[in-house]
Amino acid sequence: MFTHPTDLPDEAVVDALRAGWGVAVSSLEYAPVGFGSHHWHVVEAGGGRWFVTVDDLRVKRRDPSEPLGVAERRLRAALSTARALRDAGHAFVVAPESGRDGDVVSVVDERWVVALYPFIEGRSRTWGRYADTAARHAVLDLLVELHAASGRSVEHALVDDFPVPQRGGLLDALDDTSTPWGTGPYGDRTRHLLTRAGGGLEGAFARFDELVTAAVEEPERMVLTHGEPHAANTIETSSGVVLIDWDTALIAPPERDMWSLAAEDQAVLARYADVTGVTLRSEVIELYRIAWDLTEVALFVYDFRTEHDDTADTRTAWAALERCADALGGIR
């Protein structure tokens, strides 16, 4: 996230690092990068450098009534999978460090969860298309390796059950567009957007449900997936490209990792088939494309239907909401 959380003091992060990993922090600096988690750069007393991720379990819930512990278990399962992959020799996986108790997270309280990562020297990429075919294929090669993982590498991973987080809230919001929301600078702009986009969203949900019904009938196609292998989740290092942000790791159809690459270049589908012998299915590609857009819309509508301010985070969220709602507008 681009904005420091107002209700998580730096001292709480320092205490969690000391308790979980024995890290004696010399300096701590908030890093306004990425979206979804909060990040800090850390230097410890001995000069070691670390990268810290803190997740707010409230925003990882699928709906407001879901217990925070359920969201925590999903996060722990995904990060434990990343750790297992790294321990099994998959060097491209930037995994969280195991703590003193063997766990990959340290719990600040029921809301906040901390993970500690090595600081990676290299060139980060921003959100958007890969720079060229070579960069795209380098990541494709990593995904092929990931999709072949088995045994202890996958024992912690959960299976994709095709949720749209905050789906109920979005459907409620579609029925609540006649009166002002008054929740903040983007509240009524969101309300007006839903008035225009309602038909497309309803069509998108219908198509999504249809595609899920077909996808779940073939569990034998499922593999271990990263979930969001876009350019911003890669770092180019002196020894090659690595993948970061494994909190979305799940066992799922391979298309979960391939739809966004295919959106940039359809040739990756044939390349994947040549290497793996697996033909990727257009209807499952479509499923995950719709799932991405519906999830973005549902999450940001939830945010803007509650009290919010004008920040770098909400400005980014608004741009994403408009983009994804437009992408779904043609589905009927």
Mean pLDDT within 308-328: 96
Mean of pLDDT over the chain: 96
Both structure tokens of 20: 């979980």
Residue whose pair of structure tokens reads 């009938």 in the numeric block: 217
Question: CA-to-CA distance for 287 and 250, rounded, in angstroms?
Answer: 16
User: What is the tens place of the pLDDT at every residue in 241-274?
Assistant: 999 999 999 999 999 999 999 999 999 999 999 9
User: What is the tens place of the pLDDT at every residue in 196-222?
Assistant: 999 999 999 999 999 999 999 899 999
pLDDT at 152 over 70: yes
pLDDT band for position 113 (50/70/90)? very high
Domains of the chain: 1-119 (3.30.200.20), 123-332 (3.90.1200.10)
Residue whose pair of structure tokens reads 């460090």 in the numeric block: 97
- 3-class DSSP string for the chain: CCCCCCCCCHHHHHHHHHHHHCCCEEEEEECCCCCCCEEEEEEECCCCEEEEEEEEHHHHCCCCCCCHHHHHHHHHHHHHHHHHHHHCCCCCECCCCCCCCCCCCEECCCCEEEEEEECCCCEECCCCCCCCHHHHHHHHHHHHHHHCCCHHHHCCCCECCCCCCCHHHHHHHHCCCCCCCCCCCCHHHHHHHHHHHHHHHHHHHHHHHHHHHHHCCCHHHCEEECCCCCHHHEEEECCEEEECCCCCCEEECCHHHHHHHHHHCCHHHHHHHHHHCCCCCHHHHHHHHHHHHHHHHHHHHHHHCCCCCCCHHHHHHHHHHHHHHHHHCCCC
pLDDT at 36: 87
pLDDT at 126: 86
pLDDT at 330: 58
User: What is the tens place of the pLDDT at every residue in 293-302?
Assistant: 999 999 999 9
pLDDT at 332: 47
Both structure tokens of 253: 């159809």
pLDDT at 277 over 90: yes
Mean pLDDT within 52-64: 97
User: What is the tens place of the pLDDT at every residue in 69-104?
Assistant: 999 999 999 999 999 999 999 999 999 999 999 999
pTM: 0.95
Mean pLDDT within 162-175: 97
